[in-house]
Amino acid sequence: RDLLLLPVDVRSQLPGDETADGGFDNVASSLTISSAHVDRYLSVARYVTRLATGLPLPPSATRYITTDATRQSDRMSEDLPIGSRGGMAVRHYFPADAEYEISLRLQENYANYMKGMGWEQEIDVRIDGMLVERFTVGGGGEQFRPGPHSYEGAGDGPGWPGSRRWEEYMQLTAAAGLSVRVPLSAGDHVVGVSFPRDVWEEESLLPQPPHQARGQTDAFNANRMSYAGIREVYIEGPYETTGIAEDTPSRRAIFVCEPEHQAEEDECAAKILSRMARLAYRRPVEGQELRGLLDFYLMGREEGGSFDHGIQFGLERILADPNFLLRVHREPGAGTAAIGSRSVTYALSDQEIASRLAFFLWSSIPDEKLLDLAESGQLTDQSVLREQVARMLADPRALDALVHDFASQWLTLRPLDDRTVRDRLFIDYDHNLRDAMGRETELFIGSTIREDQSVLELLRADYTYLNERLARHYGIQKVYGSHFRRVTLPNLDERGGLLGHASLLSVTSYPDRTSPVLRGKWLLENILGMKVPPPPPGVDTDLLDEEEQVGVGSLPLRELLEEHRANPSCATCHAILDPMGLALEGYNAVGARRTIDETGTPVNDVGNWPTGIDVKGLSGLRSMLLDQGEQFARTVTAKLMAYALGRELEYYDMPAVRTIVRNAETTEYQWSSIIQGIIKSPQFLRGARAGAEVLPEPQSDGSNLNEEGDGLHYR
């Protein structure tokens, strides 16, 4: 994205990264590179550099798919027109000026019949919002008219439902011919597929006519007479390529010079590859290293027969280089002798700090401005560093990285994408709701970062972001449409802050029931920053894990937990875990409010602490946590520092964490204060040999001293 200005998503082509115990996938000690990684890195390097340089690619197909658990009765995306329903909008990169074929596949029922084919419906295909094709499906054509048909009394006549001809229509020909070929310019385009509404109204203010109005008479017809849905969109091409697309953002970023004669090509290639390698490696590239890249350029030039082929091969070599794939901190050759049992730490170079800073705040490479400052030795100047952090936080990439990479891992939101529940227990749950849950949390956290609020706002906020689907799930009125907007919460005893988000309540539950233990463990580890040990060896956890243990007629969870705590080995942890989790029992396994639990027992959402203090529901839990606001700020700081450093924190990092939190207290723990504190810390600015302890710098006012008196060691 930032090196080649190429908006393609290659995650599906790469192996996943391992996740450390702390929840982050950028912890160096947990990451490995296998031969499978290398093979895929090489393959992706070739693919993206050919895309970026505009070299011809053989036709290929990309499939975009939605699940049957996604309901398509509403507008599905802001990229689709108001007054539409269903379908999908995908952002796709088209590699050349050429023709492309867009094909559609409709949703099917359990008998492989196309859904909604009992009545005529239209499908629009749009490119960047412009209509390019409108299809008509359903109704069966002239042979099955007049009117919608019922399966009741179906005969064997050639045109009747239930006949072989009708079977063929519903299974084979109802959705035939849903394909259009369009000429497109190279670059990023939005392909939108949707159904126009029967009756256009302001989005979702009026419901669509009920299915019964179209002749629905039984359960089978309910499927056939319902709305059709898009299951898959295929994009194939390029066909009939008109040549290399000369004017694309990627080519403008790469080809900073254009040789007019062959004699100028080597000099121009050196200029292009040195610049691109500098950005990719996050440091200057010259001498033997640059000559090695030029050797690859010459091989590509000879094999492909053009200057562009040579540049493409040189870029491919850059993207396969360990200097691009890895972040390496090189230890200086002198001044690293051990003092006692500790190795002396060393200052990172300005280039290494620029790289660490960019991957922390942008999840990406440094830009030209940051590299220029690093190469001139100015980046470690505190005023310059502070200005650059402020500049980077104002960039949209910072919000995207801190929300989707840091917060989603810290709060364990990523499993939400694979979340499944028992359909028979939660009949209103669908993927529209699941996606809305995740979107609410992303927008909410993003707003606190964008507005530079206190991190305590994550717990105490009286607002959230909702669309109609999620508002209905929460029982909040007068929210219409599929788009999200900021909503002031009407009852802070029921919702307020992160703890009331259905996304977090859902990922801390089982598919069929809540789990006070999972919720309590999540609160301790992710909100209070405490490490919960695994169960002691030999302890029977089946009492809490087996799904058969909890259901109508079984013992309530509260009583099962009391039995579990009767074991002294379990009581130590569960005495802290259970009360916090039980305080959230007013929410079911998909985060909806409830008064009756899975066993048919009235909900009791009071957590009883061994000290005799009770925590009542969400509001009581939130008040308790806000009373320990500094502890929550310390947890956020520790998690953010671990993410920034790419390693798990150790005991000797905690004085630095406490110093950052104390300094941020004057701003009530604003995001920017915590981020600036992390970046100014010796942990961020210094490296260490394996096993070395990165210790705080001594300060004349003693502000680095640990208030618990654990004794700091100074260099």
Region of 47 on the Ramachandran plot (φ > 0 left; ψ -120 to 50 alpha; else beta): alpha
Backbone φ and ψ for 505, nearest 5 degrees, come out as -65, -30
User: Rounded CA gap, 265 and 268, in Å?
Assistant: 5
Distance between CA atoms of 400 and 380, rounded to whole angstroms? 26
Is it the case that residue 568 has pLDDT exceeding 80? no
* Cα end-to-end span (Å), the chain: 42
Find the helix or strand (DSSP H, E) in which 606 lies.
Answer: strand 606-608
- pLDDT (mean) for 175-204: 81
Residue 166 confidence (pLDDT):
67
Angle between helices 287-304 and 265-281 (to 10 degrees): 120
Cα atoms in the 13 Å half-sphere on the side-chain side of 41: 17
Radius of gyration for the alpha carbons in the chain, expressed in angstroms and rounded: 30
Q: Taking residues 583-608, what's their average pLDDT?
A: 90
pLDDT digits (tens, 9 = 90+) for 345-403: 788 999 999 999 999 999 999 999 999 999 999 999 999 999 999 999 999 999 999 99
3-state secondary structure of 546: coil
User: What is the pLDDT at residue 449?
Assistant: 97
Mean pLDDT of 155-160: 47
- 3-state secondary structure (DSSP) of residue 262: helix
Rounded average pLDDT over 505-521:
92
Which of the pair, 546 or 287, is modelled with greater confidence? Answer: 287
Give me the amino acid identity at 362.
W
> Residues 290-324: pLDDT tens digits?
999 999 999 999 999 999 999 999 999 999 999 99
Residue 111 has a pLDDT of 74
Quick: pLDDT tens for 618-647: 999 999 999 989 999 999 999 999 999 999
Instruction: Please give the backbone phi and psi of residue 183, each rounded to the nearest 5 degrees, phi first.
Output: -80, 135
Q: SS3 of 711, please?
A: coil
Going by pLDDT thresholds of 50, 70 and 90, the confidence category of residue 536 is confident
pLDDT by residue (tens digit) across 692-709?
555 555 443 333 333 333
Cα–Cα distance for residue pair 179/235, rounded to 1 Å: 10
Angstrom distance (rounded) from CA 516 to CA 110 = 37
Res 153: pLDDT: 38
Percent of the chain surpassing pLDDT 70: 82
Q: Which pLDDT value is given to residue 155?
A: 44
Least confident of 168-177, 239-248, 364-373, 532-541: 532-541
Distances in whole angstroms, Cα of residue 529 to Cα of each of 405, 457, 574, 637: 19, 17, 16, 10
Taking 80 as the threshold, does the pLDDT of residue 560 lie above it?
A: no
φ/ψ bin of 58: left (φ > 0), alpha (ψ from -120 to 50), beta (otherwise): beta
Per-residue model confidence (pLDDT) at position 339: 39
Dist. CA 294–CA 209, nearest whole Å: 66
Q: Which pLDDT score, from 0 to 100, does residue 68 have?
A: 81
Residue type, 626: L
Strands annotated E in 70-186: 84-94, 98-106, 121-127, 130-137, 179-184
- Tokens 């203010």 label which residue? 205
**Nearest-angstrom CA–CA distance, 678 and 642:** 10
The mean pLDDT of 558-565, rounded to a whole number, is: 71
The SS3 call for residue 62 is strand
Residue-wise burial string across 153-165, b where 16 or more C-beta atoms lie within 10 A, e elsewhere: eeeeeebbbebeb
The token pair that represents 449 in the structure block: 């970062």
326 — pLDDT class (breaks 50, 70, 90): very high
Amino acid 104: pLDDT: 95
158 Ramachandran zone, left/alpha/beta (phi>0; psi -120 to 50): alpha
Tokens 């912890």 belong to 27
Average pLDDT over residues 183-189: 91
Compute the distance between CA of residue 393 and CA of residue 406 in angstroms, rounded to an integer: 14
Q: How far is CA 587 from CA 55, 67, 424, 514, 536, in A?
A: 55, 26, 18, 8, 29
pLDDT, tens digit, 9 for 90 and up, residues 207-242: 444 443 444 444 445 556 678 899 999 999 999 887
Average pLDDT over residues 165-181: 79
Per DSSP bridges, beta strands 130-137 and 84-94 are unpaired
pLDDT in tens, 103-153: 999 988 877 778 887 778 899 999 999 999 999 988 765 554 444 444 443
CA-to-CA separations, 150 to 215, 224, 226, in angstroms, rounded: 7, 9, 13
Residue 438, φ and ψ in degrees, nearest 5? -65, -40
Measured between alpha carbons, how far is 514 from 507 in angstroms, rounded to an integer? 10
Average pLDDT, the chain: 84
DSSP state of 657: H
For residue 542, pLDDT over 90 is answered with no
Which residue from 504, 332, 326 is spatially nearest to 411, judged by alpha carbons?
504
Q: Which residue has the tokens 């290494």?
A: 352
| 543 vs 137: which has the higher pLDDT | 137
Q: Pick 437 or 198 by higher pLDDT.
A: 437
| Sign of the torsion formed by the C-alpha atoms of 649, 651, 652 and 653 | positive
Segment 6-17 shows an average pLDDT of 88
The dihedral over CA atoms of 129, 135, 138, 142, expressed in degrees to the nearest 10, equals: 150
**Residue scoring higher pLDDT (428 or 466):** 466
Alpha carbons 87 and 173: distance in angstroms, whole number: 20
| pLDDT over 90 at 466, yes or no | yes
**Res 218: pLDDT:** 42
Rounded to 5°, the CA angle 279-281-287 comes to: 100
**Distance between CA atoms of 578 and 572, rounded to whole angstroms?**
11
Residue 567 or 250, more confident: 250
Tell me the C-alpha distance between 507 and 590, whole Å.
Answer: 8
Q: Return the closest-CA partner of residue 320 out of 44, 31, 9.
A: 44
Residue with tokens 């008219």: 145
637, 529 Cβ separation under 8 angstroms: no
Max Cα distance, the chain (Å): 97
Give the model's pLDDT for residue 18.
86
What is the C-alpha separation between 411 and 434, in angstroms, rounded? 16
| Rounded-to-integer distance, Cα 526 and Cα 531, Å | 9
Q: Rounded to whole angstroms, what are the CA distances from 626 to 459, 461, 583?
A: 7, 11, 15
